């Protein structure tokens, strides 16, 4: 299974890269993808996730060829 993983905003800086390509057979969910790319760290509660440009929950199933994105919540307001 090949999964493209993208990082956005401050997470891109924290991870030190823009994206990864994973080739693993034992990835089933978004949370599994995070564990691989973060070298075993649990998925932070506030982190937003998407599969193929659609918001997704951490337990959402990933499939071969999917793009999984991680990004911090958007904050701000009108100033």
pLDDT in tens, 3-57: 999 999 989 998 999 999 999 998 999 999 999 999 888 888 889 999 999 999 9
pLDDT single digits (tens) 39-54: 888 888 889 999 999 9
Question: Sign (positive/negative) of CA torsion 70, 45, 15, 74?
Answer: positive
Angle at 28 between CA 22 and CA 29, to 5 degrees: 90
Q: Which residues contact 59 (CB under 8 A, 6 or more apart)?
A: 29, 30, 31
Sorted by where each begins, the domain ranges of the chain are 2-71
**Topology (CATH) of 2-71:** Ubiquitin-like (UB roll) (3.10.20)
pTM value > 0.85: yes
pLDDT single digits (tens) 64-77: 999 999 998 876 55
């Amino acid at each position: 299974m090949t999964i493209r993983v993208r990082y956005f905003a401050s997470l891109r800086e924290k991870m030190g890269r823009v994206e990864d390509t994973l080739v693993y057979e034992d990835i089933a969910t978004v949370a599994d993808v995070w564990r691989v790319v973060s070298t075993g760290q649990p998925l932070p509660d506030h982190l937003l996730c998407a599969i193929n440009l659609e918001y997704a929950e951490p337990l959402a199933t990933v499939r071969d060829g999917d793009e999984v994105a991680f990004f911090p919540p958007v904050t701000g307001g009108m100033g």
